[in-house]
Amino acid sequence: MAVILIGPPGAGKTTVGPLLAQALGTTSADSDAVFTERYGDVTTFFSEHGEPAFRTAEARLVLELLDSGIGVLSLGGGAPLSEAVAEHLRRPEHTVVLLDLSEDAAAERIGTGAGRPLLAQGLDSWRSLAEQRAPRYRALADVVCSTDTLGAEAVRDRVLAALQEAGPERPAPAGATVDIHVGGAAPYEVVLGRGTIAGIREAIPDTVQKVLVISQPAQKTRAERVHRLLSPDLEVVLHEIPDAEDGKRLEVAAGCWEVLGQRAFSRTDLVVGLGGGAATDLAGFVAATWLRGIRVLQIPTTVLAMADAAVGGKTGINTAEGKNLVGSFHTPVAVLCDTETFETLPEEESRTGFAEVVKCGFLGAPGILEEMRRDPATAQDPSTAAFHRCLESAIRLKADVVTADLRESGRREFLNYGHTLGHAIEFVEGYRWRHGRGVAVGMIYAARLAAALGLLSEAEVAEHERLVTALGLPVRYRGGIWPELYAEMLRDKKTRNGVLRFVLLDGIGHPLVQPVPDVSLLQKVYEGMSE
């Protein structure tokens, strides 16, 4: 097992590496030092050849060192940004240790940045690099040790203790790959973990000859990667759709059908949905309707899409009358949830998507509410093991539910907790509100309605508000628009004979579907939480 030290400049990798190797009775090396021996001074190399040439040479050297059998390897701050290096670091024979450093501590250690070509502006340069690299560091790290107030020997001891606690095997990284089975008439696997996109070819049936990749603008690089992975033996067509709910329109679906027709896609071919929930919803709908049904494979890239939209075979588009009113049930051949996509996911997207995870906690998915109660910030941070435990629990709950009830004839309705009012808010807002924000308010409304009906206690309502607030999501919505919201809620799929039916909780973890014919009660509860 090799121990790899990563982290920002000034964290102490070069000093700690030899001390750690001595304690472990193994060899050590520092990639920056080896680079200098082989190519000369780093600053001079930068000035003569430029950063791209340096990164290429650095990555080649680091890969060589990783394969050399060295026991402890300290990497330059930017080395893990190489995709090839990052892929190597994820191998089970490596344990990656992040030596972390705060900005205040860095101010004392890096000085003017002499000898470090990317730190020409001192602390300002360090701050910029740290912000850029932190997501990658956190995603790769098996062990994290802050070096702010510790000397080199103390850091060594902390790392040794962490390695000993983990045992002889590599610690399981946050988001270690897991397979989640979805049963029923057309069973499939949801693969959750880092780098799952790389396995796309193995997930595609052998009879497929053509693949249409439907993706959003932000996924251009990943769409091109999918093309490279599949194009050696398949005909791959890339088709970009508008972002978010603008992509879930009839004319967008029609554009996809046009491409399928022009390229003569047959029933043995396949559509890939690559992107957020809107992309996977549309891709599934296009696949379900082309030739009355061809295969679809989903690659969700957001928390929302992984926890909700891409799993379960629900597909749909929006109309002028409301959200997801046109659609079908069409199960995918596989769902590849690549957690590496979280490294570039905006914080707002992650936070709002996590509302669907917390929803599953209220419905009874194990561990989610406990993680939120313990440390909300850590639970919703995609770089942590707690986050991945919560996401896996949410996906497993959904897999269990849709296995038993694919077509929403019973238990699957529970997954709409918070969605009756949430969808109405999204519609009234012209879909400018993210889905998770609408669901957040919708869950608070459902909790208050359940309390008014004697199903939930005030303490349980307060916990709803506390946990949703901890996500940084709203628990109120504007007043004066009840008629518009009520009219839109009447279009909800659960409505029967003009009577709204809500998913409510008879105690946390115990959902039920309850008709509520008393419109005055519905309005009173809403007005009690409106701004």
| 157 and 250 within one domain | no
With a cut of 90, say whether residue 369 has pLDDT above it: yes
d(CA 72, CA 69): 9
pLDDT value at residue 124: 66
| 281 and 203 within one domain | yes
pLDDT value at residue 179: 83
CATH of the domain at 206: 3.40.50.1970
Mean pLDDT within 480-484: 95
- 378 domain residue, yes or no: no
Q: Are strands 94-100 and 2-6 parallel, antiparallel or unpaired?
A: parallel
- 366 domain residue, yes or no: no
| 182 and 160 within one domain | no
Q: Give Cα separations from 11 to 8, 147, 297 (angstroms).
A: 6, 6, 43
| 128 and 18 within one domain | yes
Among residues 345, 369, 392, the one where a domain terminates is 345
| 303 and 424 within one domain | no
Mean pLDDT within 439-460: 97
With a cut of 90, say whether residue 362 has pLDDT above it: yes
Mean pLDDT within 297-312: 94
Q: Are strands 314-319 and 322-329 parallel, antiparallel or unpaired?
A: antiparallel
Q: What SS3 string covers 110-173?
A: CCCCCCCHHHCCCHHHHHHHHHHHHHHHHHHCCEEEECCCCCHHHHHHHHHHHHHHHCCCCCCC
With a cut of 90, say whether residue 336 has pLDDT above it: yes
Mean pLDDT within 202-220: 95
Mean pLDDT within 339-348: 88
Mean pLDDT within 395-400: 94
The answer to whether 83 and 56 have CB atoms below 8 angstroms apart is no
Considering the entire predicted model, what is its pTM? 0.68
- Indicate the SS3 state at residue 319: strand
- CB count, 10 Å around CB of 138? 18
The answer to whether 182 and 403 have CB atoms below 8 angstroms apart is yes
| 412 and 472 within one domain | yes
Domain hosting 47: range is 2-166
CATH of the domain at 495: 1.20.1090.10
- 477 domain residue, yes or no: yes
Catalytic residue ranges: 292, 314, 356, 398, 408, 412, 416, 419, 423, 435
CA-CA-CA-CA torsion sign (499, 503, 504, 510): positive
For 401-445, write each residue's pLDDT tens digit: 999 888 888 889 999 999 999 999 999 999 889 999 999 999 999
d(CA 108, CA 276): 42
- 148 domain residue, yes or no: yes
d(CA 117, CA 138): 24
d(CA 229, CA 473): 38
For 181-197, write each residue's pLDDT tens digit: 898 888 999 999 888 89
- 407 domain residue, yes or no: yes
| 205 and 128 within one domain | no
DSSP 301: -
Instruction: Give the number of domains in the chain.
Output: 3
- 388 domain residue, yes or no: no
CATH of the domain at 86: 3.40.50.300
| 215 and 153 within one domain | no
pLDDT value at residue 165: 62
Q: Which pLDDT band, with edges at 50, 70 and 90, does 458 fall under?
A: very high
How wide is the angle at C-alpha 305 spanned by C-alphas 300 and 308, nearest 5°? 135
| 162 and 182 within one domain | no
Mean pLDDT within 315-328: 90
Q: Are strands 235-240 and 210-215 parallel, antiparallel or unpaired?
A: parallel
Q: State percent of the chain over pLDDT 70.
A: 93
Mean pLDDT within 394-400: 94
Mean pLDDT within 474-496: 94
- CB count, 10 Å around CB of 122? 16
Q: What SS3 string covers 433-489?
A: CCHHHHHHHHHHHHHHHHHHCCCCCHHHHHHHHHHHHHCCCCCCECCCCHHHHHHHH
For 88-121, write each residue's pLDDT tens digit: 898 878 899 998 877 777 776 655 444 445 444 5
For 114-146, write each residue's pLDDT tens digit: 444 544 455 667 777 777 788 788 888 888 888
Query: Average pLDDT, whole number, for the chain?
Result: 89
pLDDT value at residue 1: 67
The number of residues making up the chain comes to: 531
Mean pLDDT within 240-258: 95
Among residues 106, 137, 166, the one where a domain terminates is 166
Among residues 324, 345, 366, the one where a domain terminates is 345
- CB count, 10 Å around CB of 393? 20
C-alpha closest to that of 309 among 339, 288, 330: 330
pLDDT value at residue 26: 86
With a cut of 50, say whether residue 175 has pLDDT above it: no
With a cut of 90, say whether residue 376 has pLDDT above it: yes
| 159 and 60 within one domain | yes
C-alpha closest to that of 486 among 524, 514, 451, 450: 524
d(CA 122, CA 397): 49
Mean pLDDT within 60-70: 90
| 300 and 186 within one domain | yes
